[in-house]
Amino acid sequence: METVLESASRKVVIGPDKPFVIIGERINPTGRKVLAAQLEAGDFTTVEQDAISQVEAGAAMLDVNAGVPGADEAKMLVGLVELVQELTEAPLSVDSAMDSALAAALPVCQGKPLVNSVNGEEERLEKILPLIKERGAAVIGLVFDEAGPSMDPDERFRIAQLIVERAADHGIPQQDVLIDPLAMTVGAEPQAAVVALETIRLVRQELGNNMTIGASNVSFGLPGRKIINYSFLALAMSAGLTSAITNPLVPETPMTLMACDLLLARDEYGMNWIKAHRK
């Protein structure tokens, strides 16, 4: 199964035999107080730098989130999407908890964007899926529902199935649903990564959907976060993960993922690996 995302000029294919796709996570004011203050003041220098440097560092796509509390998120998201599209050719993942912000930003996106995200909650599915269908976009489905995240991989898998079915009801093809198996921090729950990895295996084997994951959560509250993050991604790739929303500016992350591509026969003739080392 292959998931195709597009900008005005570039096509990205996510699939189990394709090189792993990094979706750059940095354009997001959540937990970045300086960036939030800049956005509120209309200063976009950090966003500009983050857009360009993430693509240079190996992000095939960019996540764009404009969630500054109290600000007009819809207006801000539209502005950021327009800005990032001017600066890079990367297809976008439009990221908002507000359906009104997504509805405002989707018409501005060029090509075929990804929407971050729906989950198993009925209300959210009913609000967002029609927007996805209307725009011809792809969507990320987080595997939790009204009850919150389960620590049982079978339950997470059930929600993944539900999201795929509900998307199909709205006429959205299976390949346009990327499942997010949920990375929660192992700092609070020792089983957190194990449950995510088992969910990835189930989705890969039983459903076949492509997947992405907000990977950096896994190390929250721990020392040596970078090593934990890219080690987790290597494990997750081996289990069947096909893309991740993560920070490519940590140089070890894209290098680790590229090495895993090579090792898992996702890098034809090893050319990506060789090219990266000829630079």
Partner 1 sequence: MSDLLKSLQEAILTIDEETALKVTQELLDSGMEPEEILESGMTEALLELGRRWNCGEAFLPEVVAAAGIFERCSAIVEPALMAKADRKVSDKAIIATVKGDLHDLGKNIVGAMMKTVGLEVHDLGKNVPTEKIIEAVKELQPKLIGLSALLTTTMPEQENVIKALEEAGLRSAVKVMVGGAPVTQEWADRIGADGYAPNAPEAVRVALELTQVAA
DSSP state of 171: T
Q: How far apart are CA 74 and CA 216, in angstroms?
A: 26
Candidates 50-58, 68-76, 156-164, 203-211; binding stretch for partner 1 (CB under 8 A): 68-76
Residue labelled with tokens 């999407």: 81
Least distance to partner 1, CB of residue 237, Å: 25
Q: Among 103, 64, 101, which residue's Cα sits nearest to residue 81?
A: 64
Please pick, from the candidates 8, 37, 52, 97, the single residue that binds partner 1 as defined by CB under 8 A: 97
Please pick, from the candidates 15, 16, 130, 187, the single residue that binds partner 1 as defined by CB under 8 A: 187
**270 sits near partner 1 (criterion: CB under 8 A):** no
Please pick, from the candidates 24, 58, 111, 149, the single residue that binds partner 1 as defined by CB under 8 A: 149
According to DSSP, the β-strands at 92-95 and 114-119 are parallel
Candidates 5-13, 183-191, 231-239, 259-267; binding stretch for partner 1 (CB under 8 A): 183-191
Q: What are phi and psi of 110, to 5 degrees?
A: -90, 160
HSE-up of residue 244 (Cα within 13 Å, Cβ side): 30
Helix, coil or strand: residue 165? helix
Q: Which is nearer to partner 1, 43 or 146 (CB)?
A: 146
Q: Which is nearer to partner 1, 21 or 76 (CB)?
A: 76
**222 sits near partner 1 (criterion: CB under 8 A):** yes
Candidates 30-38, 55-63, 231-239, 254-262; binding stretch for partner 1 (CB under 8 A): 30-38
**226 sits near partner 1 (criterion: CB under 8 A):** no
Candidates 63-71, 75-83, 165-173, 240-248; binding stretch for partner 1 (CB under 8 A): 63-71
**220 sits near partner 1 (criterion: CB under 8 A):** yes
According to DSSP, the β-strands at 11-14 and 3-6 are antiparallel
Q: How far apart are CA 215 and CA 223, in angstroms?
A: 16
Residues of this chain, 124-143, that bind partner 1 according to CB under 8 A: none
- Residue 68 in contact with residue 81, Cβ under 8 Å? no
HSE-up of residue 237 (Cα within 13 Å, Cβ side): 28
In the complex, the residues that contact partner 1 under the rule CB under 8 A are: 29-31, 36, 67-70, 97, 144, 146, 148-149, 185, 187-188, 220-223
